[in-house]
Amino acid sequence: MNNIIEINNLTKKYGKARGISDLNFSVKEGDMFGFIGPNGAGKSTTIRLMLGLISPSSGSISIFEKDSKENKIEILQRVGYMPSEAMFYPKMRVDEIIDFSAKLHNKNCKNQSSELCERLKVNTKKKIEELSLGNRKKISIICAMQHEPDLYIMDEPTSGLDPLMQKEFFDLLLERNKRGATVFLSSHILSEIQRYCKNAAVVREGKLITVDSVEQLAKANAKRVKIYGICEVPKLDGIKDIFQKENNVEFLYHGKIAALINELQHLSIDDMVIEEPSMEEIFMHFYEN
Ligand SMILES: Nc1ncnc2c1ncn2[C@@H]1O[C@H](COP(=O)(O)OP(=O)(O)OP(=O)(O)O)[C@@H](O)[C@H]1O
């Protein structure tokens, strides 16, 4: 598979302030790729650089195997971008915005836009200023999808959408991914990255922390352990996020299970459950430092 996105030694400084620093990663054709990081990590900066909205201080990006600076217009015709803020001209009607966006792609998108409006339950005759945040986000989705791009770049797409619409949004994205499109999804919501993405990169304070398959990232050798019959915590390294109750104790454990069992054999436990933690827990406790 070709690399649809390739980011090489990418650095962006805002004056003296840090944007991102020396990022390197790539996204393969047909991937659903998650881009994860806390506030201010550099996710939107990376996306704006990919789209040529801002210029890098150093480094390069290639999209569809073409330099993103030299082939910006050609690249943007094949990209569907959904920004994190759903901002439009407030006095325009929804159908006018959707037509305007289609014209920017020089494409007749009528069939696609009608289907999207129906599935996302959008009233096209309303003015933007009359819409809630969630309804404005739906317009962003339509503008990013109606021209059936080869690459979807979505920046915090589901914030503001209700659960039914989130599901509809991911159904749409998965359908297009199945037809061959590549998806780059920036999100704080780790459960949606875990559920829908194949691979992911983690950024923090402008730097790349790790890139791996979501399956591998979610493993991280950590387990959620619940022990019944005792309330003391085993004396072992790698134990975090402890909840103690009268007759049971629960924690995240990052280490060898044999070492845990060895430690527990001296205690009079009634029962024990060892399960996979959610990605949310792993990131909270193991990637934060
Ligand atoms: N226009 C700007 N001028 C100066 N600094 C900026 C500018 N835009 C972003 N930054 C800084 O660059 C860093 C990365 O910001 P960015 O918006 O890319 O993060 P993010 O991961 O998208 O965060 P969030 O999840 O909160 O949207 C932050 O330290 C931010 O303060």
ipTM of the complex, rounded to two decimals: 0.96
Q: Mind listing the pLDDT tens digit for each residue in 144-160?
A: 999 999 999 999 999 88
Instruction: Please check whether residues 258 and 209 belong to one and the same domain.
Output: no
Lowest mean pLDDT among 27-31, 59-63, 104-108, 120-124: 104-108
For residue 224, the domain's CATH number is 3.30.70.250
For residue 7, the domain's CATH number is 3.40.50.300
Assess whether pLDDT exceeds 90 at residue 126. yes
Instruction: Please check whether residues 234 and 158 belong to one and the same domain.
Output: no
Instruction: Please check whether residues 123 and 261 belong to one and the same domain.
Output: no
**Element of type H or E holding 226:** strand 222-228
Instruction: Please check whether residues 154 and 24 belong to one and the same domain.
Output: yes
Q: Which of 20, 44, 54 to mutate to test the pocket of ligand 1 (most atoms within 8 A of CB)?
A: 44
Assess whether pLDDT exceeds 70 at residue 104. yes
Per-residue pLDDT at 130:
93
Structure tokens, 57: 């201080």
Residue 116 CA to ligand 1 centre (angstroms): 31
Instruction: Please check whether residues 199 and 266 belong to one and the same domain.
Output: no
Residue nearest to atom 5 of ligand 1 (CA): 14
Whether 19 is in the pocket of ligand 1, judged by its Cβ within 6 Å, is: yes
Rounded Cα–Cα distance for residues 87 and 129 (Å): 10
Asked if residues 3 and 61 have their Cβ atoms less than 8 Å apart, the reply is no
Residue nearest to atom 24 of ligand 1 (CA): 39
Last residue of a domain, one of 198, 213, 228: 213
Q: State pTM to two decimals.
A: 0.85
Residue 19 CA to ligand 1 centre (angstroms): 6
Instruction: Please check whether residues 232 and 156 belong to one and the same domain.
Output: no
Instruction: Please check whether residues 96 and 236 belong to one and the same domain.
Output: no
Give the range of the structural domain holding residue 227, as residue numbers without chain letter.
Answer: 220-286
Q: Over range 244-271, report the average pLDDT.
A: 89
Q: Give residue 9's pLDDT band: very low, low, confident or very high (50, 70, 90).
A: very high
Asked if residues 265 and 285 have their Cβ atoms less than 8 Å apart, the reply is no
Whether 187 is in the pocket of ligand 1, judged by its Cβ within 6 Å, is: no
Residue nearest to atom 4 of ligand 1 (CA): 14
Residue 155 CA to ligand 1 centre (angstroms): 13
Q: What percentage of the chain has pLDDT greater than the value 90?
A: 65
Q: Over range 55-62, report the average pLDDT.
A: 95
Per-residue pLDDT at 220:
67
Cα dihedral angle (71, 74, 75, 80), rounded to 10 degrees? 150
Per-residue pLDDT at 232:
85
Least Cα distance to 32 among 206, 243, 177, 189 occurs for 177
Instruction: Please check whether residues 209 and 224 belong to one and the same domain.
Output: no
Instruction: Please check whether residues 25 and 160 belong to one and the same domain.
Output: yes
Per-residue pLDDT at 204:
86
Structure tokens, 247: 């007759």
Q: Give residue 207's pLDDT band: very low, low, confident or very high (50, 70, 90).
A: very high
Residue nearest to atom 2 of ligand 1 (CA): 14
Residue nearest to atom 30 of ligand 1 (CA): 40
Residue 109 CA to ligand 1 centre (angstroms): 33
Q: Over range 263-285, report the average pLDDT.
A: 82
Residue 210 CA to ligand 1 centre (angstroms): 20
Last residue of a domain, one of 193, 213, 233: 213
Assess whether pLDDT exceeds 60 at residue 289. no
Last residue of a domain, one of 213, 234, 265: 213
Residue 167 CA to ligand 1 centre (angstroms): 28
Instruction: Please check whether residues 150 and 73 belong to one and the same domain.
Output: yes
**Considering the chain, what is the average pLDDT of its residues?**
91
Query: How many CB atoms neighbour CB 220 within 10 A?
Result: 19
* Choice between 234 and 28, residue whose per-residue pLDDT is larger: 28
Per-residue pLDDT at 191:
82
217 CB burial (10 A radius; 0-12, 13-18, 19+): buried
Assess whether pLDDT exceeds 80 at residue 85. yes
Least Cα distance to 8 among 61, 49, 69 occurs for 61
Q: Give residue 231's pLDDT band: very low, low, confident or very high (50, 70, 90).
A: confident
Lowest mean pLDDT among 97-106, 167-176, 189-198, 274-283: 274-283
| Count of structural domains within the chain | 2
Q: Give residue 188's pLDDT band: very low, low, confident or very high (50, 70, 90).
A: confident
Asked if residues 173 and 184 have their Cβ atoms less than 8 Å apart, the reply is no
Rounded Cα–Cα distance for residues 183 and 180 (Å): 10
Asked if residues 205 and 45 have their Cβ atoms less than 8 Å apart, the reply is no
Instruction: Please check whether residues 167 and 196 belong to one and the same domain.
Output: yes
Instruction: Please check whether residues 265 and 158 belong to one and the same domain.
Output: no
Assess whether pLDDT exceeds 70 at residue 287. no
Assess whether pLDDT exceeds 80 at residue 288. no
Angle at alpha carbon of residue 43, lines to 39 and 48, rounded to 5°: 130
Residue 223 CA to ligand 1 centre (angstroms): 33
